[in-house]
A and B are shown apart, each in its own frame.
Chain A
Amino acid sequence: MIDRLRRVLPPGAVLSDAEELKPYECDALTLYRRMPLAVALPADEAQVAAVLRTCCEAGVPVIARGAGTGLSGGATPRLDAVLMSLARLSRILSIDPLARTARVQPGVRNLAISEAAAPHGLYYAPDPSSQIACTIGGNVAENSGGVHCLKYGLTVHNLLALRIVTIDGEVLEIGARALDAPGYDLLALLTGSEGLLAVVTEATVRLIPRPQCARVVLAAFDSLAEAGQAVADVIAAGIIPAGLEMMDRPAVAAVEPFVHAGYPLEAEAIVLCESDGTAHEVEEEILRIEAVLRTAGSTECRISRDEAERLRFWAGRKAAFPAMGALSPDYYCMDGSIPRKRLATVLEAIRKMEGKYGLRCTNVFHAGDGNLHPLILFDSNDADEVARAEAFGGEILELCVREGGSITGEHGVGMEKIDQMCVQFGSAELETFHAVKRAFDERGLLNPGKAVPTLHRCAEFGRLHVRGGQLPHPDLPRF
């Protein structure tokens, strides 16, 4: 296989030594590590197609990888699969300021698009926390969001067109630079498909005018329920903030010594609510937000006075994940979404699970769009703690589904949440997912074993989705 790849790629574009392969053994979900069969580093679309054709002919699976910043193991290698890195397709092909579009290769970093568009007063809105490193190809695969997605949307809302290569090496153009295209909305289908349907070789993204200014309100609350209600009150007042975040007391306690953001340590929850736009607009909106938060019972409410203070208020929230590193050797970041009104119930249940699993968990929350990130603290050198952390995480995700939410708000299913897919979907839906995959990739060679579980796996997992009192998969044998 390695020889066959070397025949279709330039020198140095196929890695096969153990030490060369080592950096590719995992993505940002480091719990799962595997060595790939080989790493292919194509540099253009024709080489991508050649790798795919070669693998297709040999019946060898292929896993596409961007920057490897994904948190769900979507790019975890397999011993029997070629790992194809798109890192060398890293050119910004064009920026058209009046059409407000950027045409980029998949290996372009998310932030690099905004940097290139900045001279025109434009930017690319989705801003996942890893935006300095993550690439647009990976963003498309995961339908990445970010802190500002309540107002500005996810990747799917900011994409116009893709060039994709299918497993048999065929190049297709989907979407259009126009605002719609004939036929099915394949752009929506490809976005978030976790590398199971095709490989992106070019993306045309929408750019929007950069807001002139932004200010943020920091509000403290005596209870999570009150903070949750305050968030609902902001929305009920007809405000869609640019960002709306919440942290619980343990998360605040963890970050404050780390960044000195000035967070009130005695609060049970803090809310950060940002307004952006023109100076006039922000002035008007930020006062309305403050009034709503005060009426909702905020014990302390501060509006950022200048850009430095705004960045300091955000620094704490942005340091939440690294701060966990000071508390614990490892943390496991979960990613469920729930209807916002269920927040207090869900956080209370997570508190109880801390006792059950003997592990601590802090919570940060994209409160505006109901996306919860519980951070489970554990030690990866302790096999029992690892097992308990995984079980704890799984139970949180199942709780999210029970409360009307989803097992993943923005990180994707990957390897990590594949068993919980059996809880969120019934067998008919899972079968449909498999059939859609076969419509693109008949032999199942693209990123196999990720994102969509087999029905057999669901049966073995044993925690099945129960709908209307009926057990799914009645046709399957039970073990």
Chain B
Amino acid sequence: MTDLHSLQESIRAAAGARRPLCIRAGGSKDFYGGALQGELLDVGGLSGISDYEPTELTITAGAGTRLVQIENVLAECGQMLAFEPPRFAGGTTLGGTVAAGLSGPRRAYCGAVRDFVLGISMIDGRGAVLRFGGKVIKNVAGFDLSRLMAGSLGSLGVIAEVTLKTVPRPRAECTLRFAMEQPRALESMALWATRPLPLSATTWHDGLLHVRLSGAEAAVRAARGSLGGEVVSGAEEYWESVRDQRLELFAAGQELWRVSLPIHSPPLPIPGRMLIEWGGALRWLPGPQEAGGLRALAASFGGHAVLYRAPAKPAEGCFQPLPPPMLSLHRRLKAVFDPQGIFNRGRLHPDL
């Protein structure tokens, strides 16, 4: 395990010289957000599971711990990470998962990374180790700064260790497939989510709606009966390819846009292929889009658009721009943790 002290020293030295640092472990998400800037700060050595208590539903591990390792340990005790974060090619680490704030197919039904973060230890831009949250499920002491780290793309500090809430694996699972055009698929996903059905994932692409049911055997059986459709055998591989973003659609264009919308938003008036997840709340668009137009469209529905993968990074950043008062609040928060502005410059926002 990399000495926390040596990382603190590197950070203090960089802060003294106002030298930007690029926090990295597995590097599986180098493509995500603004271009990497600064000297590499490798945190991959902060690795290892320090505490796992299946009956407490918590696991604590170093930021550099591979997700695959964590999931194997959980699986041995019949547990899992409910938010199904993407593992990409396998090098993905816990710290990067939390920092990127990306969640997988189960997100719409069980919650996102941030919902399962219970505590964090981090190194701030002064080189101080800070601990927020804890190892218990209920804890409202102090501001919830551990959840604030989720999705901050390393711009606030170096995540050193994370405690996550774990959940039991479902006892039964079944995937149904329906041939359906997009409007009817969107309506069906929204309607079914208003009923007490054990939904755990939904996708629509290429004229097919996939619905995964997970839970008690009786519940899955009953839901299968009431929804109809065709039972898909060997669906696990399909869901893994959605989760790890290996499905062919993710690579169908040089660019990939990720559009996040309220559930029950209508079909986007955009031609071309599309992958819909999260009951309609997440839409992946392979191929080039006019950024301003797509962002305005997403905003008009109450959502936002991210240029998720692109051969070249645009100057205005990959994320939906923040309104001026929000941006200034972001700057003030960034300065709390990273007064010299050394961490992951430009990754979350060109000005942060």
Name A residues whose Cβ lies closer than 8 Å to a Cβ of B: 96-101, 120-122, 142-143, 145, 149-150, 153-154, 156-157, 170, 172, 174, 176-186, 188-189, 191-193, 196-197, 209-212, 232-233, 235-236, 238-240, 277-278, 280-281, 283-285, 337-341, 366, 369-371, 404-413, 417, 421, 424-426, 428-429, 432-433, 435-440, 451-452
Nearest-CB residue, chain B, relative to A276: B196
Using known A-B contacts A178-B304, A181-B304, A370-B56, determine if residue A404 contacts B136 with beta carbons closer than 8 Å. yes
Nearest-CB residue, chain A, relative to B124: A432
**Inter-chain contacts of B293 with A (CB < 8 A):** none
**Complexed CA–CA distance, A149 and B136 (Å):** 13
| B169→A185 contact, CB < 8 A | no
**Complexed CA–CA distance, A88 and B236 (Å):** 51
- Of B115, B134, B222, B278, which one neighbours A157 at CB under 8 angstroms? B115
| B190→A284 contact, CB < 8 A | no
| A183→B218 contact, CB < 8 A | no
Smallest beta-carbon distance A231→chain B, Å? 8
| A191→B325 contact, CB < 8 A | no
Using known A-B contacts A99-B263, A341-B55, A429-B130, determine if residue A439 contacts B329 with beta carbons closer than 8 Å. yes
Confirm or deny: B91 has a beta carbon within 8 angstroms of a beta carbon on chain A: no
Nearest-CB residue, chain B, relative to A174: B326
| B136→A432 contact, CB < 8 A | no
| A238→B143 contact, CB < 8 A | no
In the complex, 15 of the A-B residue pairs with CB atoms within 8 angstroms, ordered by the A residue number, are A98-B191, A178-B281, A182-B306, A183-B326, A183-B330, A183-B349, A184-B152, A185-B101, A186-B329, A191-B144, A193-B143, A405-B136, A428-B128, A429-B130, A439-B333
| A284→B136 contact, CB < 8 A | no
Nearest-CB residue, chain B, relative to A283: B218
- Of B57, B128, B195, which one neighbours A209 at CB under 8 angstroms? B195
Per-residue A-contact encoding for B25-57, CB less than 8 Å = 1, 0 else: 000000000000000000000000000011111
Using known A-B contacts A143-B144, A436-B143, determine if residue A179 contacts B260 with beta carbons closer than 8 Å. yes
**Inter-chain contacts of B303 with A (CB < 8 A):** 176-178
Smallest beta-carbon distance A328→chain B, Å? 26
| A405→B194 contact, CB < 8 A | no
Smallest beta-carbon distance B163→chain A, Å? 11
Per-residue A-contact encoding for B149-172, CB less than 8 Å = 1, 0 else: 011100010000000000111010
**Complexed CA–CA distance, A404 and B337 (Å):** 26
Confirm or deny: B185 has a beta carbon within 8 angstroms of a beta carbon on chain A: no
Using known A-B contacts A100-B194, A180-B101, A193-B143, determine if residue A404 contacts B332 with beta carbons closer than 8 Å. no
Using known A-B contacts A184-B151, A280-B222, determine if residue A339 contacts B142 with beta carbons closer than 8 Å. no
Name B residues whose Cβ lies closer than 8 Å to a Cβ of A: 53-58, 78-79, 101, 107-108, 111-112, 114-115, 124, 128-132, 134-145, 147-148, 150-152, 156, 167-169, 171, 190-191, 193-198, 215-219, 221-222, 260-264, 278, 281-282, 302-304, 306, 319-322, 325-326, 329-330, 332-333, 335-337, 348-349
| A188→B142 contact, CB < 8 A | no
Count of chain A to chain B residue pairs whose CB atoms are closer than 8 Å in the complex: 258
Smallest beta-carbon distance B183→chain A, Å? 13
**Complexed CA–CA distance, A439 and B139 (Å):** 23
- Of B128, B138, B216, B261, which one neighbours A281 at CB under 8 angstroms? B216
Among the interface residues B260, B262, B303, which one has the most CB atoms of the partner chain A within 10 A? Answer: B262
| B147→A436 contact, CB < 8 A | no
Smallest beta-carbon distance B85→chain A, Å? 14
Nearest-CB residue, chain B, relative to A232: B55
| A284→B216 contact, CB < 8 A | yes
| B216→A421 contact, CB < 8 A | no
**Complexed CA–CA distance, A366 and B216 (Å):** 24
**Complexed CA–CA distance, A212 and B131 (Å):** 41
**Inter-chain contacts of B54 with A (CB < 8 A):** 235-236
**Inter-chain contacts of B147 with A (CB < 8 A):** 156, 185, 188-189
Nearest-CB residue, chain A, relative to B259: A178
**Inter-chain contacts of A371 with B (CB < 8 A):** 138
Using known A-B contacts A170-B325, A184-B330, determine if residue A209 contacts B194 with beta carbons closer than 8 Å. yes
| B112→A180 contact, CB < 8 A | yes
Smallest beta-carbon distance A234→chain B, Å? 9
Smallest beta-carbon distance A430→chain B, Å? 8
**Complexed CA–CA distance, A366 and B137 (Å):** 11
Nearest-CB residue, chain A, relative to B192: A209
**Inter-chain contacts of B130 with A (CB < 8 A):** 428-429, 432
Using known A-B contacts A280-B219, A281-B218, A406-B134, determine if residue A340 contacts B56 with beta carbons closer than 8 Å. yes
**Complexed CA–CA distance, A193 and B330 (Å):** 17
| B304→A182 contact, CB < 8 A | yes
Among the interface residues A145, A176, A197, which one has the most CB atoms of the partner chain B within 10 A? Answer: A176
Using known A-B contacts A150-B137, A425-B142, determine if residue A341 contacts B263 with beta carbons closer than 8 Å. no
- Of B137, B141, B168, B306, which one neighbours A407 at CB under 8 angstroms? B141
**Inter-chain contacts of A174 with B (CB < 8 A):** 326
| A189→B193 contact, CB < 8 A | no
**Inter-chain contacts of A424 with B (CB < 8 A):** 141-142
**Inter-chain contacts of A432 with B (CB < 8 A):** 124, 130, 145, 336-337
Using known A-B contacts A179-B260, A185-B101, determine if residue A337 contacts B136 with beta carbons closer than 8 Å. yes
Smallest beta-carbon distance B55→chain A, Å? 4
**Inter-chain contacts of A182 with B (CB < 8 A):** 304, 306, 319-322
Using known A-B contacts A232-B55, A235-B57, determine if residue A153 contacts B144 with beta carbons closer than 8 Å. no
| A176→B141 contact, CB < 8 A | no
**Complexed CA–CA distance, A189 and B54 (Å):** 28
**Complexed CA–CA distance, A45 and B217 (Å):** 48
Using known A-B contacts A98-B190, A98-B191, determine if residue A433 contacts B196 with beta carbons closer than 8 Å. no
